[in-house]
Amino acid sequence: LLGYGWAGIFRKYLVDSPYMWWPSNLVQVSLFRALHEREKRPKGGLTRLQFFLIVFICSFAYYIIPGYLFPTISAFSIVCFIWKKSITAQQIGSGMNGLGIGSFGLDWSTIAGFLGSPLATPGFAIINMLIGFVLVLYILTPISYWSNAYDAKKFPIFTSHTFASTGKTYEISRILNATTFNIDLNAYNSYSKLYLSTFFAFNYGLSFATLTATISHVALFHGKSIWYMWKKTTSAVKDQIGDIHTRLMKKNYEAVPQWWFHIILVLMVALSIFACEGFGKQLQLPWWGVLMACGIALFFTLPIGIIQATTNQQPGLNVITELVIGYIYPGRPLANVSFKTYGYISMAQALTFLGDFKLGHYMKIPPKSMFVAQLVGTVVASSVYFGTAWWLLTSVDHICDVSNLPEGSPWTCPGDDVFYNASIIWGVIGPFRMFTSKGVYPEMNWFFLIGLLAPVPIWFLSKKFPNQKWIRLINMPIILGSTSNMPPAKAVHYITWFAVGIFFSFYVYKRHKGWWARHNYILSAALDAGLAFMGVLLYFTLQSNNINGPEWWGLEGDHCPLAICPTAPGVVAKGCPVQ
């Protein structure tokens, strides 16, 4: 609900303005029109609604195979089936815990589960991400791992887990005060510095580069246009002019009073401070931390909103919020998580609300009805999420504990695992003990400079050769941030996403443009819907009763158990041969 406050403050500039067009909403508008407009079936063809229903039924029926009966086809590895006893081969071939060479998935959730639908992503963005993915996963990671940079061979090549210098899992309980959950420096100094897998360490460095590259790229390529749009937006709002959508909305509907948003903002900030200062200060974040996080969200909502509303790209603030509070208030994991929630997640939610307001703008939904629907939906969804999480945590044995879960269990919690480990890295240990000379990875700070300078040559070449339009399509923030979803996303998710995205964005678009324009987005929505309905049905009928499918080799992941093994001599790991 805190995001409503930021959304209300910038609503006039990011929703009412015709210059803020929110490209992602056009996909939803196309789908809604297909579902609700009357359409005559073309001779020998299907209406868009008929096409949606057919794909929906097929997706619904098919998902029982990868979702329950045969999960292995979600991440099948050819290499691991050939070299069953080679750690190196399985590190190379595993799509879940390695580089994913020779792996593939026949499951829409594998394709779109972490990166979104590739059918709704522009082709140039897919190519930029592919370039970054190859550079990071197939050049930077192998070189750093097999050259043993930062003792990389003591740890798995790809994991979000944290480790001690011995190669064993970092026992966070050894350095935490059991009462306050603050770091015990004496225990930390007598135990070990924190180590990461080579991929995870460099991924943090790349997140630093992405942050500065975004600033540099926007300043060089979009600085003038953003300033121009800001002036035009201000003028448009002030003079109450705009496109046909804005004029129709103002003519037919009463706007949401600004004080509605202000009341929500003041109330939510007050409740946030109360939550942090009350309850024995269990969240560890003082009142000034809440206000600082709110200040960061307030500062970044408009510029990032302008970028997202015009380019469909949203630079993430998660690293900068973790970095700021990690330096200012180190050794407190709950404070770090809370600061990120108020600073980053509230801003992301504000942009979601603004995007939904723009969708209502396009679909001519009364603003007050849209506001009430969003508010009620947010309250209901938050309550259901909280209740569901509480229920699952108290009813599912070994939830999120992958080592003790049965084969085929859906309760692996990959996103929560990354969130937890981030709280250790940034909250408990802190950036000062990780990314300075006091830690293991001080060289990662060079990525700030690399990211800042990376867009400069591209900008220079685009000015030098203005007729070469493809140069401007090289987007360094996308390239540097291409693997930002890894983990929890794995190599197989990216590989299948690229394959499907390139096929539809280039082959289908060029060879069958009419079909693509008519069916592409509807195909994506139908695949999503069918999978979602079957997923819910499987849970309530089978998985909630601990019926996890027939016991056979098709439940056992990608069959690459050795991919998580270290390769350094003498390091002992469960289920791994000692080198």
> How do residues 267-322 score in pLDDT, each as one tens digit?
999 999 999 998 888 888 999 999 999 998 888 887 778 777 766 667 666 788 88
Q: Is residue 428 within 8 Å of 176, Cβ to Cβ?
A: yes
Question: Is the residue at 35 inside a domain?
Answer: yes
Dist CA 92 CA 19 (whole Å): 47
Dist CA 82 CA 521 (whole Å): 38
Q: Which residues span the domain enclosing 213? A: 1-555
Distances (CA, A) of 94 to 37, 78, 101, 486, 576: 46, 9, 7, 14, 15
Residue 565 bridge partners (DSSP): none
- Structure tokens of 512? 């069958």
Q: Is residue 138 within 8 Å of 485, Cβ to Cβ?
A: no
DSSP code of residue 103? E
SS3 of 439-496: the string is: CCCHHHHHHHHHHHHCHHHHHHHHHHCCCCHHHHHCCHHHHHCCCCCCCCCCHHHHHH
Dist CA 262 CA 313 (whole Å): 27
Question: Is the residue at 576 inside a domain?
Answer: no
Question: Is the residue at 563 inside a domain?
Answer: no
Question: Is the residue at 192 inside a domain?
Answer: yes
DSSP assignment string, 179-233: TT--B-HHHHHHH---EE-HHHHHHHHHHHHHHHHHHHHIIIIIHHHHHHHHHHH
Question: Is the residue at 135 inside a domain?
Answer: yes
DSSP code of residue 329? S
Number of C-alpha atoms within 13 angstroms, CB side, residue 372? 5
Amino acid residing at 577: P
Question: Is the residue at 508 inside a domain?
Answer: yes
Q: Is residue 73 within 8 Å of 106, Cβ to Cβ?
A: yes
Contacts of 335 (CB under 8 A, 6+ apart): 283, 284, 285, 289, 325, 329, 427
Dist CA 93 CA 80 (whole Å): 6
> How high is the pLDDT of residue 217?
83
Dist CA 353 CA 384 (whole Å): 19
> How high is the pLDDT of residue 258?
87
Question: Is the residue at 562 inside a domain?
Answer: no
Question: Is the residue at 567 inside a domain?
Answer: no
Residue 163 bridge partners (DSSP): 169, 195
| pTM for the whole structure | 0.86
Q: What is the CA radius of gyration of the chain?
A: 25
> How high is the pLDDT of residue 291?
94
Dist CA 150 CA 411 (whole Å): 32
Contacts of 38 (CB under 8 A, 6+ apart): none
> How high is the pLDDT of residue 231?
67
Residue 183 bridge partners (DSSP): 176
Dist CA 480 CA 453 (whole Å): 12
Return the H-helix or E-strand segment holding 77.
Answer: strand 76-77
Q: How many domains does the chain have?
A: 1
Per-residue pLDDT of the chain (579 residues; tens, 9 = 90+): 888 888 888 887 788 777 777 777 777 887 788 778 888 887 778 888 889 999 999 999 999 998 888 888 988 899 988 998 899 999 999 999 999 999 999 999 999 888 888 888 888 888 998 999 999 999 999 999 999 999 999 999 998 889 998 889 888 888 888 777 788 889 888 999 999 999 999 998 998 898 888 888 878 887 776 677 566 655 554 555 456 666 777 777 888 888 999 999 999 999 999 999 988 888 889 999 999 999 988 888 877 787 777 666 676 667 888 888 988 988 888 888 899 989 988 998 999 999 888 888 888 888 888 889 888 988 898 899 889 888 888 888 888 877 777 766 777 787 778 878 888 888 888 888 899 888 899 999 999 999 999 999 999 999 999 898 889 888 898 899 888 888 888 999 999 999 999 999 899 999 999 888 888 888 988 998 899 999 889 888 887 777 777 778 887 778 888 999 999 888 888 888 877
Dist CA 273 CA 285 (whole Å): 9
